[in-house]
Amino acid sequence: MGMRAAHAGAAAEQVRAARIDAAERVAAVVRERAVDFAVLCGDTFEDNQVDRALVARVVEILASCRCPVYLIPGNHDALVPGSVWSDASFSRAPTVRVLRDESPIEAPGGATLWPCVAKARHDERDPTLWVRAPSDGRVHVLLAHGTVESVHYEEPWYPIARDCAERARVDYVALGHFHQHLEYVGADGVARMAYSGTHEPTRFGERDPGQALVVTVPKAGDVPAIEPVVTGALRWLVVDATLREAGDVERAKEAVRALGDGAQTLLRLKLDGYLRVDEQDALVALAEMVRDRFVFGRVESTLRPAPTDTAWTKDLPVGPVLDAAKLLAQWAEPSFDGRPDGVSADVAARALLELYAMAATGE
């Protein structure tokens, strides 16, 4: 919460509002499922400087869960002097519990929570190493924020070993930091550790974002049932299109139209290939459609102009490539009638353009 969303341009405000709405859906899921408690495993806030009115709003949403909600700080909202966690809103919401100490606490449903607390933005130690749960019949849940080994992430701090659940002897490890839903299967074939991912998608290129996890552990030692529930609303799509032949711009436009209602979609349309002179107007229309139809829409083009005649073939080295170009140029002439069976002028024109692309890029 409090993400500036500068990467969404003029849609940033809508992106921020969507994150509030998605938080309300998380609270609704918590109420509908009548869970014993909810956990948020760090980076609830973008940073420790977020607007305090936003903090109050988030605490209000969490309080609406009608069950205890436990939060640990993450690297973005680390527990440091003057952090967001010192906001007075938290002291007014008794069911919203910020866990500040590395010591186990009892939660409803016969559970014991083991909170690993981020006290700095960077740390290169595994924050879970202190945990070793007893076999006392309680359901032990470890809460941690960090980077499980082998996850590639731009902020690779707070490393967490893949065998954390086994080593700490807990029933479940609830993870924060990574934005996508990801489960880890232990040596016994059971997943006891998972990132829920963010409640609302955050950026382009994410897989499986916008979910909460409903985790059920009937009793100590049981296999956890991990059920993803969709809570996000906005789609962040990247669509690639390569233009080569007449009509490709129109086909790209159809593909964009097929994405449906743009009111919940951010789109980056990446175009490469060659643009024909007679399709420049169609490209302008496509760009307008991308801009107008979506919450955020941007065309990213590396298009080059397609050749208007075959003069470029004169630069080809003498040999089979030049011979092929000459032949294709001849076949591509609609009035030429000596084409081999099965070769149309269109196919020859397209092949010639492919050859042009190869020659232009040195392939």
Region from 59-67, 75-83, 99-107, 298-306 binding Mn ion, contact rule CB under 5 A: 75-83
Rounded CA separation 228/232 (Å): 12
> Taking the complex as a whole, how short is the minimal distance between the CB of residue 151 and Mn ion, in angstroms?
11
Quick one: 198 or 313, whose CB is closer to Mn ion? Answer: 198
* Nearest residue to 301 via CA among 346, 258, 250, 241: 241
Q: Which residue has tokens 């809103």?
A: 89
Rounded CA separation 113/104 (Å): 5
Quick one: 74 or 127, whose CB is closer to Mn ion? Answer: 74
Interactions with Mn ion, residue window 167-186 (CB under 5 A): 177
* Nearest 10 degrees: Cα torsion 136, 139, 140, 143: -160
> Taking the complex as a whole, how short is the minimal distance between the CB of residue 163 and Mn ion, in angstroms?
21
Q: Which residue is nearest to Mn ion (CB)?
A: 177
Asked if 209 interacts with Mn ion (CB under 5 A), we say no
Instruction: Kindly provide the residue ranges of all beta strands, DSSP E only, lying in 152-303, ordered along the sequence.
Output: 159-160, 172-176, 182-185, 191-195, 211-216, 225-230, 235-243, 265-275, 296-301
> Taking the complex as a whole, how short is the minimal distance between the CB of residue 76 and Mn ion, in angstroms?
5
Quick one: 112 or 202, whose CB is closer to Mn ion? Answer: 202
Determine the size of the site formed for Mn ion (CB under 5 A). Answer: 4
* Nearest residue to 75 via CA among 174, 160, 146: 146
- Please check whether residue 74 is in contact with residue 39, taking contact to mean a CB–CB distance below 8 angstroms: no
Quick one: 177 or 268, whose CB is closer to Mn ion? Answer: 177
Question: Residue from 68, 74, 210, 262 that binds Mn ion (CB under 5 A)?
Answer: 74
Question: 63: Cβ–Cβ under 8 A, 6 or more apart, which residues?
Answer: 69, 93, 95, 96
Rounded CA separation 308/276 (Å): 8
> Taking the complex as a whole, how short is the minimal distance between the CB of residue 82 and Mn ion, in angstroms?
19
> Taking the complex as a whole, how short is the minimal distance between the CB of residue 178 and Mn ion, in angstroms?
8
Interactions with Mn ion, residue window 87-146 (CB under 5 A): none
Strand partners of residue 111: 107, 139
- Please check whether residue 155 is in contact with residue 111, taking contact to mean a CB–CB distance below 8 angstroms: no
Give the contact letters, 16-45, x = binds to Mn ion (CB under 5 A), - = no. Answer: ---------------------------x--
Quick one: 211 or 313, whose CB is closer to Mn ion? Answer: 211
Quick one: 45 or 90, whose CB is closer to Mn ion? Answer: 45
> Taking the complex as a whole, how short is the minimal distance between the CB of residue 130 and Mn ion, in angstroms?
20
Rounded CA separation 148/175 (Å): 9
> Taking the complex as a whole, how short is the minimal distance between the CB of residue 175 and Mn ion, in angstroms?
10
Asked if 75 interacts with Mn ion (CB under 5 A), we say yes
Q: Which residue has tokens 């290129």?
A: 205
Quick one: 40 or 306, whose CB is closer to Mn ion? Answer: 40
Rounded CA separation 311/330 (Å): 13
> Taking the complex as a whole, how short is the minimal distance between the CB of residue 80 and Mn ion, in angstroms?
14
Quick one: 68 or 74, whose CB is closer to Mn ion? Answer: 74
Binding site for Mn ion (CB under 5 A): 43, 74-75, 177
